[in-house]
Structure 1
Amino acid sequence: MEILRYVAFSTDPAGGNPAGVVLDATGVDDATMLATAAEIGYSETAFVVPSRDGVLDVRYFSPLAEVPFCGHATIATAVAHAERHGTGRLRLRLRTQAGLVTVTTDRTADGTLVATLVSVAPRTEPLEEADLAELLAILGWAAEDLDPALPPRAAFAGAWHPVLATADRKRLAEMRYDMDALTALMDRTGWTTVDLVWRESPTVFHARNPFPPGGVVEDPATGAAAAALGGYLRELGLVATPATVTVHQGVDMGRPSLITVTVPAEPGTGIGVAGAAVPI
């Protein structure tokens, strides 16, 4: 396998979220994919297998387990593919375990390659009271730390993420948690990451994403969670649609990332997630 390494949601290799990319994983078995992801050590590595129908089969592995969908590795894969197969506007169809995802890649005026994915149909569900109480306890948050304008929910746009909004930016900056306890809770609930957010303005958010099921304390940029957040905002009527939402992530861990989320007005339609990617 040729293993490529990219940073997604940043134009600086020292920022964003690193991802491994294998553009041709034909014949590679599950155990080898998992071992390769563990050796690379990034939060996710994408393995692509071309198919006869023109759709690319993509699987995503963290160092510990397979995940159904990963936004930043999708952005990295699209940019890596565009660099090798054409730099103009390029549209890919990706068959993931979460469903069909389309990605377009374009070059900006300054030469930067930017990819935009459109998620599967998003949805939200209430959080079980016991799960919410346990999550708050693990984070060391009190109910008073939550932003009453942004109610806790489980949100999906390819993977499930509980969305917890704090009213205090300082609370977000001070994030700490018991990794073993959160791993156990997330294994039981099927959550991929926890989307902790603070709203700076109606369309600007700051996020942090613990990812213990993948063996990662924190994800510097989580495209799947950003898509889920977009669906959450639309379904609960928390943003005027159509909307463009900016998510800043990774700042508190020294890897600043910029995620652009496009929220169409039509209920049930996929959420757009865009960002740059560059080789490491």
Structure 2
Amino acid sequence: MTVLRYAAFTRDPAAGNPAGVVLDADTEPGALTDAQMLAIAAEVGYSETAFLTRATDGYTVRYFSPKAEVPFCGHATIASAVAVAERTGPGPLLFHTLAGEIPVVTSRDADGQLTATLTSVPPTVAEVPAPDLAEALAALGWSPDDLDPALPPRIGFAGARHLILAAATRDRLADLDYDFDRLRNLMLWRDWTTVKLVWRESETGFHVRDAFPVGGVVEDPATGASAAALGGYLRELGLVRPPVRLSVLQGEDLGRPGHLTVDIPEGTGGIQVTGNAIRMT
């Protein structure tokens, strides 16, 4: 079994978010079972490994963390699209995921590096029940005063569900030391894929972190699925004026800086997330 390793949302193999990619998962050396895919993801040890099989109009893609399958993963989508583009050339792709159809376009940027743009499923936003918010803050060791009142807590969805919490200061965002088991149990109960912690530096500039205990890791270094959910959240709550492009920085506090470009169109359609990916040695 060949597992390709890419760093997504970066041009530096030592930065961004590592993802495993298995091309031709149905033929190399044979169709993989769910248990085998989970075992491979656990052995790879990244937050996500993507398994691709050919479909008549694109690829069927499944995403596994070391602990469980997830319906959609943005950084592994970017990595997978670049891996396909390296094999067949850049252009449009269609990924069939458990969350729905995800169109992806690969191209070369101004420096000749491969880049990929995914379009999420239509996002939704929901209120956070007060007991769930209180439990999440307690698990994080945050108080209500640590939150930015201009960006209220919500559940954002753009292929997977994420609790979105905005920190009042950059220092609060940087100081992440949470109760792993307590937060994981809440997230499993509420079907949250990550807890997305954000700090708004400017109108279109954000620093973010994603707690990911349900995937078996403390933190995801660069998270495309939750970036799309953030875009839907900002549009739904009227916190940006679409069409607008966001610059999202993630991974700095882990020593693996990544950059995600998020385009928010008008209306109710999917959110576009763009980034580079590079093969890791």
> Smaller-chain TM-score range?
over 0.9
Aligned to 1:58: 61
TM-score scaled by structure 2? 0.97
Aligned residue in 2 for 1:170 = 171
Alignment counterpart, residue 85 of structure 2, candidates 65, 68, 82: 82
Match of 1:119 in 2: 120
Alpha-carbon deviation of 1:54? Answer: 1.6
Secondary structure of the corresponding residue to residue 277 of structure 1: strand
* 1: CA distance, partners of 2:78 / 2:123: 19
- Which residue in 2 is equivalent to 1:203? 204
- Please give the root-mean-square deviation of Cα atoms over the aligned residues, in Å: 0.6
Q: Does 1:4 align with 2:4?
A: yes
Unaligned runs of 5+ in 2: none
Q: Distance in 1 between matches of 2:215 and 2:110?
A: 36
CA distance in 1, matches of 2:161, 2:10: 24
CA–CA distance in 2 between the matches of 1:228 and 1:45? 20
Residues 120-168 of structure 1 show CA distances to partners (whole Å, capped at 9, x for unaligned) of 0000000010000000011111111111110000000000001000111
Q: Pairwise mapping of residues 101-120 of structure 1 onto structure 2 (< 5 A)?
A: 101-120=102-121
> Which residue does 2:17 correspond to in 1?
17
Matched residue SS, 1:194: strand
Matches within 5 A, 1:243-262: 243-262=244-263
Deviations 1:5-60 (A, max 9, x none): 00000000110000000111111110100000000000000000102x22310000
SS of match in other structure, 1:38: helix
What CA distance in whole angstroms lies between the structure 2 residues aligned with 1:54 and 1:99? 14
Find 1:48's aligned residue among 44, 49, 52.
Answer: 52
Distance 1:129 1:115 in 2: 38
Structure 1: 5+ residue stretches without partners: none
1:150 and 1:271 map into 2 onto residues whose CA distance is 19
Query: Can you list the C-alpha shifts for 1:193-218, whole angstroms capped at 9, x where unaligned?
Result: 00000000010000010100000100
Distance 1:98 1:264 in 2: 20
Aligned equivalents of 1:260, 1:3: Cα separation in 2: 27
SS at match of 1:101: strand
| SS of 1:158 mapped into structure 2 | coil
Rounded to whole Å, the distance in 1 between the matches of 2:18 and 2:58 is: 24
Give the secondary structure class of the aligned counterpart of 2:201.
strand
1:97 aligns with 2:98: yes
Residues 172-213 of structure 1: per-residue CA shift (max 9 Å, x gap) = 000110101011000000000000000000100000101000
Amino acid at match of 2:83: A
Report whether the alignment pairs 1:231 with 2:235: no
- Does residue 33 (structure 1) correspond to residue 37 (structure 2)? The answer is yes
State the distance in 2 between where 1:46 and 1:122 align.
Answer: 22
Match of 2:277 in 1: 277
Deviation at 1:109, TM superposition (A): 2.3
Deviation of 1:107 (Å): 0.4
Q: Report the AA paired with residue 61 of structure 2.
A: V
Question: In structure 1, how many angstroms separate the alpha carbons of the residues matched to 2:230 and 2:177?
Answer: 22
TM, length-normalised to structure 1:
0.98
4+ residue segments displaced more than 6 Å: none
Amino acid at match of 2:78: I
Return the match for 1:71 from 46, 69, 74: 74
Which whole-Å deviations, capped at 9, do the CAs of 1:61-107 have from their partners, x for residues lacking one?
A: 00000000000000000000000101x4x110010000000000000
Give me the whole-angstrom Cα distance separating, in 1, the residues matched to 2:259 and 2:110. 18
Cα distance, 1:111 vs structure 2: 1.3
Q: How big is the shift at 1:278?
A: 0.2
Paired residues, number:
276
Amino acid in the other structure paired with 1:235:
E
1:218-259 per-position Cα deviation (integer Å, ceiling 9, x unaligned)? 000000000000000000000011000111000001000100
